Amino acid sequence: MNIHEYQAKDLLRTFGLPVQPGEVAETPEQVEAIAKGFGGPVVVKAQVHVGGRGKAGGVKLAKTPADARTIAAKILGMDIKGLTVEKVLVAPAVDIASEAYVGIIVDRASKRAVFMVSPAGGIDIEQVAAETPERICKLAVDPRYGLLPYEASNLAFFLYQDGARARAASQILQKLYAAFISCGASLAELNPLVTQPDGSLVAVDAKMVIDDNELDRRPSIAALRDERSEDPSESAARAAGLTFIKLEGNVGCVVNGAGLAMATMDLVKYYGGEPANFLDIGGSSNPEKVVNALKIITADPSVRVILFNIFGGITRTDDVANGIVQAVTRHPLRVPLVIRLTGTNDEEAVKILASHGMSAMTDMDAAVQRAVELSGRAAA
């Protein structure tokens, strides 16, 4: 789960990290009032879950409260990579002597939480990794001991020559690790971690990603989810217990299992079509899931055909067939349906479908070819 910059900063402050002050606003009037309160120039920052906000014009410096109001009026409601800006963060502008990068991710290769730090901050760390990898220092943390003080100190001295600054950075690294673990994060970044002219350190931007699997045991963090910042079809799918990802094509796909769902999309492409979505209805045999899946897919006007690909192992294909019948009875489809099902109770499933005037195929390739053919015909 992505959380907004202002939410990440609020969380990190509670762990004692030096984070730039700031307040969140939803109207230009609020922005002006906040800017007045801070006095002096402020930065107005769009709160959306995409990278490259700055380049898209979503981050601007305002010299006066009136400026801040004008700028906020432009940024609020702005479309950044398909997402509408609903909130902005207003923060006092900071004088920058130098910028560093500090981050933690869960690394699959070492199977540990790994720190990455670089004195080249303020830019995309992947760019630093590609161009000047020697300016990045990595450290895999042993989960039994956590980040040991000497390890934090080693990383801190990679960032700063000055002893006092390195001591401060060492404290920041240990607090960031504590926040990372306590919040169940899979990523936490301070970028940039700014050295101010007086030598003090402050995080000017912060990013955190929370492991979805942690949310059940962290209700206060789960409550940070901002539904308005997601594609509505994806939040509807999550509420229905489905995994759904919207894509650009016109062949709607309903599949059981993530691997088979990906393979089905790939096969659609192989036969010259374009998948409209990734959708995994999971392993359970609940007809209601099928009803919800169809509701979500048919809400997309670009969908020209819907392809079911069900391999019944634990999933009972007769349950899926019942779900299809229920769904199309309640909400008749405006696009053709191609059903492929095989496995557990498939004879029963075919009977159920046949009694409602539908048929099913058993071969995956044949079904995908048929769906692609129909998608082309409907579009023409």
Q: Which residues are catalytic?
A: 101, 189
Binding mask 145-184 for another protein (x = CB under 8 A): ------------------------------------x--x
Q: Is 31 exposed, middle or buried (0-12, 13-18, 19+ CB in 10 A)?
A: buried
Closer CB to another protein, 100 or 253, in the complex: 253
Closest approach of another protein to the CB of residue 341, in Å: 12
The beta-strand segments (E) located in the chain are 23-25, 42-46, 59-62, 79-80, 83-84, 88-92, 98-107, 112-118, 137-141, 185-195, 201-203, 206-210, 243-246, 251-255, 277-280, 305-312, 337-343
Q: Is 50 exposed, middle or buried (0-12, 13-18, 19+ CB in 10 A)?
A: middle
Hey, which residues between 260 and 299 contact another protein (CB under 8 A)? Answer: 260-263, 265-270, 275, 278, 280, 283
Closer CB to another protein, 44 or 368, in the complex: 368
Hey, which residues between 54 and 113 contact another protein (CB under 8 A)? Answer: 106, 108-109, 111-113
Q: Is 189 in the site for another protein (CB under 8 A)?
A: no
Q: Is 344 in the site for another protein (CB under 8 A)?
A: yes
Closer CB to another protein, 21 or 133, in the complex: 133
Residue ranges in 101-162 assigned as alpha helix (H): 125-131, 149-159
Closest approach of another protein to the CB of residue 114, in Å: 10
Hey, which residues between 228 and 247 contact another protein (CB under 8 A)? Answer: 243, 245, 247
Figure out which of the listed residues 82, 95, 134, 144 binds another protein, where binding follows CB under 8 A: 144
Phi, psi dihedral angles at 293 (to 5 degrees): -60, -45
Q: How many residues form the binding site for another protein (CB under 8 A)?
A: 50
> Which residues fall within 8 angstroms of residue 25, CB to CB, at 6 or more apart?
31, 34, 72, 87, 88, 89, 90
Closer CB to another protein, 38 or 311, in the complex: 311
